[in-house]
Amino acid sequence: EVQLVESGGDLVQPGESLRLSCAASGFTFSSYVMSWVRQAPGKGLEWVSSISMSGGDTYYADSVKGRFIISRDNSKNTLYLQMNSLRAEHTAVYYCAKGHSSSWGVPYNCFESWGQGILVTVSS
User: How many residues belong to the site for other proteins (CB under 8 A)?
Assistant: 24
Does residue number 1 form part of the binding site for other proteins (CB under 8 A)? no
The distance of closest approach from Cβ of residue 97 to other proteins in the complex, given in angstroms and rounded to an integer, is 8
Nearer Cβ to other proteins, position 14 or 43?
43
The distance of closest approach from Cβ of residue 53 to other proteins in the complex, given in angstroms and rounded to an integer, is 17
Sites for other proteins among residues 23-42 (CB under 8 A): 35, 37
Q: CA 63 to CA 67: how far, in whole Å?
A: 9
The set of long-range contacts for 50-55, using a CB threshold of 8 Å and a minimum separation of 24, is: 50/106, 50/109, 51/79, 51/106, 52/105, 52/106, 53/102, 54/30
The distance of closest approach from Cβ of residue 88 to other proteins in the complex, given in angstroms and rounded to an integer, is 20
In this structure, the dihedral spanned by the alpha carbons of residues 83, 38, 46 and 105, taken in order and rounded to 10 degrees, is 80
State the residues that interact with other proteins by CB under 8 A.
Answer: 35, 37, 44-47, 50, 59-62, 95, 100, 106-108, 110-117
